[in-house]
Homo-oligomer: A and B are copies of this chain.
Amino acid sequence: MRILVLGGDGYLGWPTAMYFSARGHEVGVLDNMVKRQWEAEVGAEPLFPIPTLTRRISTWKAETGRGIESFVVDMANNPRGLYNSIERFRPDTIVHYAEQPSAPFSMMNRAACVETQANNIVGTLNLGHAMMSLCPDAHLIKLGTMGEYGTPNIDIEEGWLEIRHNGRSDRVLFPKRPGSFYHLSKVCDSQNLEFMCRVWGLRVTDLNQGVVYGVETEETAIADGLRTSFHYDAVFGTVLNRFVTMAAIGYPLTVYGQGGQTRGYLNIRDTLRCVELAAQNPASTGEFRVFNQFTETFSVADLAERVVRIATQLGFKVKSENLENPRVEAAQHRYKAANSALLSLGLKPHLLTDDLIAGMIQSVARSSDSIDKDSLKPNISWRQNRP
């Protein structure tokens, strides 16, 4: 395959690029590096120092002999650069991670909200137009999120829903009730992409991904210079990554509210395999296909309890703390979501074992000197300055 990874400098983008390169595919990465600017804006830094993309590509070449082509392009604000990159690389598969990925960032203030939606929505619109013009038969794999669904009182299906109403039936996009401007941007992307499939015949797989955790993948482990951008701060860190970091330095785990929030989770290694399965089994012409991409569900309180127990067994001194929830979300709710599509394509999940959590804690503990404790505490409220 010829695979172009958009957002190839990121936590998932860079491991994805190496994963496909290692398996003999031609890989290109496109990024504008704005995530590094956003991190600086909120005062967050990854656990490990992350070399420039250029340097990581050189290291990859040195370690494996394989090349990765790089395009430094802002796909939301430089459509011509995006078109040129696609014209030059001629992808048959495009994996699109190039979005502002943080819910708290999008709730920080007006400017960050607008930056999130404009970047994500316009970038995806530009991409769809570029594909329609230049590679209408390529397969787009777009990263969405399980958070688009919110926490409905009904079973969550995979993107579409057969409904009956007043004795008639239809197949509709699953009704969404997302919980942040970030999640809303992904809902809008999904709507726009479904339309482009319907009207232009594009082929799209929308991966509604759960909360990803994990420090390393097969390829990032090859050399320190290939590590991925692991975040533990309250803005860009996902919850389990945050909890293991807190455990590793004896900082009380920040449980928002009573921790009744239940979500789908998956290991970063499974993210890569899911994207591979989607790429190997592409959507048909005109098909907008949605997979729910997670392997297990946990409540935040359960995760905190497990991390505390395992860290304590390892000799770390740690507890969890219930903070007033900075988000507006249901404290207790039902959560039953389908995830059979990727399993039936052959996904063998890496489940969250105690050993795996222990390994993550120990791995993070080795870098504990570099952790900025101030960035662990949530300081962005969903209610903003509303009295």
B-binding residues in A (CB < 8 A)? 79, 109-111, 113-114, 117-118, 121-122, 125-126, 129-130, 132-133, 136, 152-155, 157, 161, 163-166, 168-170, 172-181, 184, 187-188, 191-192, 194-195, 198-201, 328, 334, 382-387
How far apart are the CA atoms of A184 and B384 in the complex, in Å? 28
* Complex partner residue of A386 from B153, B166, B200, CB under 8 angstroms: B200
How far apart are the CA atoms of A111 and B78 in the complex, in Å? 11
Q: How far is the CB of A358 from chain B (nearest CB, A)?
A: 38
Q: Show 22 A/B contacts (Cβ-Cβ < 8 Å), sorted by A.
A: A79-B110, A117-B122, A118-B122, A132-B385, A132-B386, A136-B387, A153-B169, A153-B170, A154-B164, A154-B166, A163-B175, A164-B164, A173-B177, A176-B191, A179-B195, A181-B192, A184-B188, A184-B192, A184-B195, A187-B191, A200-B386, A201-B386
Q: How far is the CB of A104 from chain B (nearest CB, A)?
A: 13
How far apart are the CA atoms of A170 and B333 in the complex, in Å? 13
- Chain B residues contacting A122 (CB-CB under 8 Å) are 114, 117-118
How far apart are the CA atoms of A16 and B280 in the complex, in Å? 55
Chain B residue at minimal CB-CB distance from A168: B154
Please give 19 more A-B residue pairs, beta carbons under 8 A apart, in addition to A117-B125, A178-B195, A184-B192. Answer: A110-B126, A110-B129, A113-B129, A117-B121, A121-B121, A133-B384, A153-B168, A154-B166, A157-B165, A163-B163, A163-B165, A163-B175, A168-B334, A172-B177, A173-B176, A180-B195, A181-B195, A187-B188, A187-B191
Given contacts A165-B163, A181-B192, A184-B192, contact A113 B133 (CB under 8 A): no
- Chain B residues contacting A382 (CB-CB under 8 Å) are 199
Number of copies of this kind of chain in the complex: 2
Pair A169/B191 contact, Cβ less than 8 Å: no
Q: How far is the CB of A184 from chain B (nearest CB, A)?
A: 6
Given contacts A172-B177, A191-B178, A191-B187, contact A114 B132 (CB under 8 A): no
* Complex partner residue of A383 from B187, B199, B328, CB under 8 angstroms: B199
Pair B328/A199 contact, Cβ less than 8 Å: yes
How far apart are the CA atoms of A121 and B113 in the complex, in Å? 11
Given contacts A188-B121, A200-B386, contact A175 B177 (CB under 8 A): no
Q: How far is the CB of A291 from chain B (nearest CB, A)?
A: 19
- Chain B residues contacting A180 (CB-CB under 8 Å) are 195
- Chain B residues contacting A386 (CB-CB under 8 Å) are 132, 136, 200-201
- Chain B residues contacting A170 (CB-CB under 8 Å) are 152-154
- Chain B residues contacting A384 (CB-CB under 8 Å) are 132-133, 200
Chain B residue at minimal CB-CB distance from A384: B132
- Chain B residues contacting A328 (CB-CB under 8 Å) are 198-199
Q: How far is the CB of A84 from chain B (nearest CB, A)?
A: 14
Q: How far is the CB of A262 from chain B (nearest CB, A)?
A: 16
Pair B184/A191 contact, Cβ less than 8 Å: yes
Chain B residue at minimal CB-CB distance from A110: B129
- Chain B residues contacting A113 (CB-CB under 8 Å) are 125, 129
